[in-house]
Chains A and B, each alone.
Chain A
């Protein structure tokens, strides 16, 4: 236990304002550079160079893009619903930026005025706040699609609403085992659980949870392979087809801010957040205002943990980009099938499995710690392997033909495709 002292009311307001400003600035900067990273990484993956002319290695490209977007002509379609057309980008960007507020980004910092939590708002409802606000983001997209009075935008909005609602369920469900294990939804507390109480990063004892969360997060942020809402090749750019200049930019910022928040959540919930692996010197938790449990807080520890948090988060951002430029887009029916018939039942079964496992371990009287985590790791590892094995077969993400043989829409695939005669096809239809 370390007593550092609490902030006075004035210091609290000033420091909170600084934290809000700092977090906002950093998020916006990272978002700007993520757009550059996206373009550069995609270029490298495709053996190109990407934007490298503005500043060293193209580092000033986001600034040039920003200036360009401010200077561009603002068009609004004559037959669009003006009010909603203007409201939509706001609805999109607001939640995207606000959700970052509850993510702790470093260990608490002791100052002259008292202990400063390195989180903008350490809400006790943590993740629930994020889930609630991130689901508001879909309104922005649907509104944009609907108010544009454009068939492509409309289809994009429609698809986005169906997809995001479907995967929101799986997203929430994938976190339930985590709530059960950590017994809490506060993000700082979940980090403490991983540091000291369980001695395991939750990705190991809840591996399937992580897999489901990553898949749902891809869908929730409308990133490939779930980008049917934009689907350039089908819908021009989907819901934001009619937007130009800064309004378009706002959708863009929202997408990347969502991606950043999702990455930060993956890092925090499953990979220990700002915790430095193995080393115990940074394991600390603010039990009450100004009182720290565990190691003593220090400025250098705050900086170090912030670096570790950045590395973890940026890795997942990179993963988002990497997946986008590898995996092709799902067909709409595949998305719905995966969401409702695979993810949701899996998540429900998984909740049951973990509930049983946790209850069993508790009733046996095993203390909450390393061994507890190890047993859960083994159980969950088997579940993950089983899930991936099932998903791996095209029974799950396959063509529509098998599920309704005889309907048009089967995909000719590969050179070894064999054409089945009408006689055989009838038999297939009967099967």
Chain B
């Protein structure tokens, strides 16, 4: 009995059980008859992604089907997760092109710096998140697969306000 006990002084309106329960029942009933639709029935209903959503990568291609990439090596350099593997090559006309261009989507942290740094707007992060696979090796996207992606690419900034002002 010597210990100080927190005793709560409550007004009678706060200590009711029956009234409070009835109020609670009314509240739950309101929710029952007017369900707020917060749930997205995902596979049937896709979420609307922001135009700045940074997801699965996509390689832009020229009209003749070659990748726009010039194998300058900026993206593997800036990549903080070190997930891009690039082996550059050069053709007869002296054009550089990627011999190997692989992105490990497992390592990628989707920061979008590769897109930001690319001088020829070749590599992009895209508005897509449905990249589940059955094996780990399938997460390493090679050049053909990156070029085959067809989801919209990300606007890293608002085109009407490029400086973010």
> What residues of chain B lie closer than 8 Å to A374, measured between beta carbons?
none
Q: Is A114 in contact with chain B by the CB < 8 A criterion?
A: no
How many residues of chain B are within 8 Å of chain A by beta carbon?
Answer: 30
> What residues of chain B lie closer than 8 Å to A421, measured between beta carbons?
4
**Chain B interface (Cβ within 8 Å of chain A)?**
1-10, 12, 14-19, 21, 24-25, 27-29, 31-32, 35-36, 38-39, 41
For the residues of B in contact with A, the DSSP-based class is loop
Contact B21–A393 (Cβ < 8 Å)? no
Q: Is A428 in contact with chain B by the CB < 8 A criterion?
A: yes
Partner of B5, one of A388, A393, A410: A410
Q: Is A391 in contact with chain B by the CB < 8 A criterion?
A: yes
Distance to closest chain B CB from A320 (angstroms): 12
How many A-B contacts at CB < 8 Å in the complex? 97
CA distance A429 to B5 in the complex (A): 9
Partner of A396, one of B4, B5, B17, B31: B17
Distance to closest chain B CB from A304 (angstroms): 27
> What residues of chain B lie closer than 8 Å to A47, measured between beta carbons?
31, 35-36, 38-39
CA distance A401 to B1 in the complex (A): 11
Contact B1–A426 (Cβ < 8 Å)? yes
Q: For residue A211, which residue of chain B has the nearest CB?
A: B18
Contact B31–A408 (Cβ < 8 Å)? no
Indicate whether A401 sits within 8 Å of B5 (C-beta atoms), given known contacts A48-B39, A392-B16, A394-B17.
yes
Q: For residue A47, which residue of chain B has the nearest CB?
A: B36
Contact B10–A416 (Cβ < 8 Å)? yes
Which range holds the interface residue count of chain A? 35 or more
Q: Is A41 in contact with chain B by the CB < 8 A criterion?
A: yes
Q: Is A9 in contact with chain B by the CB < 8 A criterion?
A: no
CA distance A406 to B9 in the complex (A): 15
Q: For residue B33, which residue of chain A has the nearest CB?
A: A44
> What residues of chain B lie closer than 8 Å to A408, measured between beta carbons?
3, 5
CA distance A41 to B31 in the complex (A): 10
Q: Is A405 in contact with chain B by the CB < 8 A criterion?
A: yes
Q: Is A417 in contact with chain B by the CB < 8 A criterion?
A: yes
Contact A410–B25 (Cβ < 8 Å)? no
Contact A326–B8 (Cβ < 8 Å)? no
Q: For residue A404, which residue of chain B has the nearest CB?
A: B1
> What residues of chain A lie closer than 8 Å to B32, measured between beta carbons?
41, 44-45, 322
Distance to closest chain B CB from A330 (angstroms): 10
CA distance A44 to B30 in the complex (A): 10
Partner of B8, one of A45, A388, A396, A411: A411
Contact A405–B8 (Cβ < 8 Å)? no
| 6 further contact pairs, Cβ within 8 A, besides A326-B28, A406-B5, A411-B8 | A47-B31, A388-B18, A397-B17, A412-B8, A422-B4, A425-B7
Q: Is A46 in contact with chain B by the CB < 8 A criterion?
A: yes
CA distance A425 to B2 in the complex (A): 8
> What residues of chain A lie closer than 8 Å to B38, measured between beta carbons?
47-48
> What residues of chain A lie closer than 8 Å to B15, measured between beta carbons?
393-394, 398
